[in-house]
Structure 1
Amino acid sequence: MIVWQYLRSLFFNVQMYLMLMLFAVCGLPYALIGGRSAAIHVCRGYCLWVRFSARWIVGLKSEVRGAVPRGDVLIAAKHQSFFDILIIYSAIPRGKFIMKKELVWTPFVGWYAWLIGCIPVDRGKRGAAIKAMLTQAKNERFAGGQLVIFAQGTRVAAGAKKPYKIGAGALYTDLGLTCVPAATNVGVFWPRHGILRKPGVAVVEFLPEIAPGCEISGFMAQIEAEVETASDRLMAEAGFVAK
């Protein structure tokens, strides 16, 4: 049975990247002419395709819980694998990400990241990177919509612990935006590395809003506690047992 699931997973992964190229190339004229809104439609279409094909090919369903953010907000999310990016983006109407600078030069991904208003960050520069991130976040080209930052700064495997980075707090205090924390269990089914995709229900859950105005250290403690608690609950619901 596990061999069959590996074969299904391999087929799913291959078609996912082929469809990425198809969406990116065929959608590029539309995205270039229509601007940011058109590029968002192309990206959301691809995300919805991956969610559909994961359910159809490998038996991996996906679900969004909680009130989906619609206005101009900061989303401080848990990041366990590529799949949580796709689920989040398929749900929000005008999303953009804080992303590592290297992705700008990635074929297809880099094109659309620029078009939808993602903000590249050089993670190796620390303080300078935060200052540059805040400056870009206020630029008119990046204005409006739901700004997603992965609060731990990178993918973290299911059950692993990693400290939360100050970037989420800096954006929250400097931009004066409402923050929506987001928890997930996707790493239980779609790990950071490897081919295997397991059947089940991958969930992204939007948690209650945090209004602007909190002190940064209190804000950081709150998002970490809320996101980790909710993610642990979702992983337990999926049958995950921490080692």
Structure 2
Amino acid sequence: MDRLRSLVFSIVFLTGTAMAIAIGFGFALAGQRALSRYVTAWTRFHALCARLILGIHTRIEGRLPEGPALIAAKHESMYETLELVRILPFPAVVVKRELTDFPGWRWVTALYGLVPVDREASAKALRAMLKAAERLNTEHRSLVIFPEGTRVRPGEEPPLQAGFAGLYRAMGMPVVPVAIDSGRLWPRKGPKHRGIVTFRFGAPIPPGLPRAEIERRVHEAINALHH
């Protein structure tokens, strides 16, 4: 049944997403506010498909940030990339550049507030990411980053990537770490499974801490569900 549900989910969600992308250009022409509402509606569609077809639900622990913050989240599946946009009020998101490089799409993603970063994390790529993130700082929005750099398997705890410390220093925001255990239900390969994905929001960590301390505290907090 898991394989059948996963197949049905892929057909329904990907078909709906293809339509959403085509329509999204029109909402982008109407401005950022219209586009943000449209993107939120798309993430609600994703959550509805996950709940009704896959039997996957979200449980939130802790308190959501009350103001702009750097949201440092665990990354085990695609699920949290859309759920965090649904849960949080209009956040910007750091994403791999490949997701923004479709013809004509870069303008739309930039208008919404996606911050592209190259996988190789070169000095040039990090400077470009910081420049884009600093522009968002003037909009008083939270910024979501997956500081381990890529999706990992459940239980894996790689060190944080260098770009996180640079963003932390440049943005001057408190950090809200988020532990997520989606990988056990939503593996990179194979069928998805019924169950509850926990999003555990940690206490805000103030800006201005030394690099070693902020990385240690964030690393511990986003991996808290493993212990």
Fold conserved (TM > 0.5)? yes
Change (3 A) 1:83 1:30: same
1:150 deviates by: 0.4
Conserved 8 A contact 1:43-1:112: no
- Match of 1:164, SS state, is coil
1:63 deviates by: 2.2
Structure 1: which 5+ residue stretches go unaligned?
Answer: 234-243
In the TM superposition, 1:134-213 aligns within 5 A as: 134-139=130-135, 143-194=139-190, 196-213=191-208
1:111 deviates by: 5.8
Q: Distance in 2 between matches of 1:107 and 1:192?
A: 26
Conserved 8 A contact 2:94-2:143: yes
- Match of 1:44, SS state, is helix
Q: Distance in 1 between matches of 2:109 and 2:28?
A: 12
Q: Distance in 1 between matches of 2:49 and 2:175?
A: 31
Q: Distance in 2 between matches of 1:22 and 1:205?
A: 32
State the AA in 2 paired with 1:232: H
Q: Distance in 2 between matches of 1:85 and 1:110?
A: 18
Aligned to 1:216: 211
Q: Does 1:55 align with 2:51?
A: yes
In the TM superposition, 1:1-243 aligns within 5 A as: 4-33=1-30, 35-106=31-102, 112-139=108-135, 143-194=139-190, 196-228=191-223, 230-233=224-227
Give CA deviations for 1:99-154 in whole Å, capped at 9, x if unaligned: 12222124797564222111111232422222222122222697431111101011
Bigger RCO of structures 1 and 2 (CA < 8 A, at least 6 apart): 2
Percent sequence identity over aligned pairs: 31
State the AA in 2 paired with 1:226: A
Give CA deviations for 1:186-238 in whole Å, capped at 9, x if unaligned: 111011233x110000122211100111111110011001111x2315xxxxx
1:31 deviates by: 2.9
Structure 2: which 5+ residue stretches go unaligned?
Answer: none
Q: Distance in 2 between matches of 1:14 and 1:107?
A: 24
Q: Calculate the TM-score normalised by the size of structure 2.
A: 0.91
